Amino acid sequence: MNPARRIAIAMSGGVDSSVAAALLHETGEDVFGLMLRLSDGASGHANRCCAPEAIAAARAVAGQLGFPFYVVDAREAFEASVILPFICGYVQGITPNPCIECNRAIRWGTLLAHALAIGATHLATGHYARIDSANGTFRLRAGVDRRKDQSYVLHVLSQEQLAHAVFPLGELTKDQVRGHARRLHLPVADRPESQDLCFAQGNYQSFLVARGISAAPGPILDQEGNPLGQHSGLTGYTLGQRKGLRIAGSEALYVLEKDAGRNTLTVGPRGAVGRQQFAVDRVNWIAGAPPSIPFEADVQVRYHAPRIRGHIRCTGDQSAQVILECRQPDVAPGQSAVFYIDDACLGGGIIQP
Banded pLDDT at 46 (limits 50, 70, 90)? low
**Which residues of the chain are in CATH 3.40.50.620 domains?**
6-126+168-183
**CA dihedral of 62, 115, 12, 22, whole degrees rounded to 10:** -40
Read off the pTM: 0.91
Percent of the chain with pLDDT over 90: 73
**Which residues of the chain are in CATH 2.40.30.10 domains?**
275-351
Return the pLDDT at 127: 97
The backbone region for 51, taken as left when phi is positive above 0, alpha when psi lies in -120 to 50, beta otherwise, is beta
* CATH class entry, domain 6-126+168-183: alpha beta
pLDDT digits 0-9 by tens, 193-225? 766 677 776 677 778 877 877 778 999 999 999
Residue 174 exposed, middle or buried by CB count within 10 Å (0-12, 13-18, 19+): middle
Checking DSSP bridges between strand 275-285 and strand 319-328, what pairing results, if any? Answer: antiparallel
pLDDT digits 0-9 by tens, 155-190? 999 999 999 999 999 999 999 999 999 999 999 988
Return the pLDDT at 44: 47
**CA dihedral of 131, 13, 107, 148, whole degrees rounded to 10:** 40
pLDDT digits 0-9 by tens, 264-296? 999 999 889 999 999 999 999 999 999 889 999
pLDDT digits 0-9 by tens, 9-24? 999 999 999 999 999 9
Q: Are 86 and 46 in contact (CB under 8 A)?
A: no
Assign domain 215-272 to its CATH superfamily.
Adenine nucleotide alpha hydrolases-like domains (2.30.30.280)
pLDDT digits 0-9 by tens, 50-101? 678 889 999 999 999 999 999 999 999 999 999 999 888 888 888 889 999 9
* Residue positions annotated with a catalytic role: 102, 198
Domain 275-351 has CATH 2.40.30.10: yes
Banded pLDDT at 330 (limits 50, 70, 90)? confident
Return the pLDDT at 157: 98
Residue 32 has pLDDT above 50, yes or no: yes
**Which residues of the chain are in CATH 2.30.30.280 domains?**
215-272
